Chain A
């Protein structure tokens, strides 16, 4: 009788290992980026070197993210056509986001603009981020595997709660304890990271 894959979904340890690994990798990448930028500044290498360095690190950071997603899907399973579409849309949006962010930062540095034009410029890198949110919304509409959709809706709810809680606490910490200012753009990637963490606990309940 072939019921060999009756194993429970014991992928929690793999997920934790992957998350710890990617956090370490990001710490190394961000640390070395910081070090490289300080070296560029101290050696007066100018904006071209800074932007070239930023472009290289952007590619490394995006590559790490996409590699992490592939490993995650391979280890955890549960990949569906709708999920693969969402990943593809998110990856394209992330690549466009990185390119636009570097471009507008470069432009602001070389030819600073103000007023309405500055707002228009600020809108550019935000558009692909909004596209990532749209990709998530489309996923919920397109997913035909109801269990996978349920798990991810729960993940999204936990992530929303966690992000709102941290944003609220941080806001008061900024106001009352002079905590460093966190830009509003922080909250979306934090929310996305929260969904991955929530996935570990949500799936554990269904094992």
Chain B
């Protein structure tokens, strides 16, 4: 799936490491999700959505 995480993260001036720390995952995880190589589970997707104050469908988009 495509996603808007990189743009949302950049808008807040967060590094991948910052976002990883917020989510409690590794930086590699954030990188894999951002690049669309790894689709997060629903719980992690909800966590990401809550963190950015967006609905899930506002962040994750179907290809």
Contact = CB atoms under 8 A, between A and B. Distances in A.
Most B Cβ at <10 Å: residue of A4, A5, A78, A147:
A147
A1 interface: yes
A1 B10 contact: yes
A147 B10 contact: no
A181 interface: no
Given A3-B14, A5-B15, A150-B38, A77 B32 contact: no
Nearest to B34: A6
- Chain A binding surface SS class: loop
A78 B13 CA distance: 22
A206 B27 CA distance: 12
- Chain B binding surface SS class: helix
A9 to B, nearest CB: 5
Contacts of A78: 26-28
A6 B15 CA distance: 7
* Size class of the B contact interface (CB-based, 8 Å): 20 to 34
Interface residues of A, number: 22
Given A1-B13, A3-B16, A146 B41 contact: yes
A3 B9 contact: yes
B13 A147 contact: no
Given A6-B15, A148-B29, A207-B31, 15 more contacts: A3-B15, A6-B31, A77-B27, A78-B26, A78-B28, A79-B26, A80-B26, A146-B29, A147-B26, A147-B29, A147-B32, A147-B33, A147-B40, A150-B38, A203-B28
7 contacts: A3-B10, A3-B13, A5-B16, A8-B35, A145-B24, A146-B40, A207-B31
Interface of A: 1-6, 8-9, 77-80, 144-148, 150, 203, 205-207
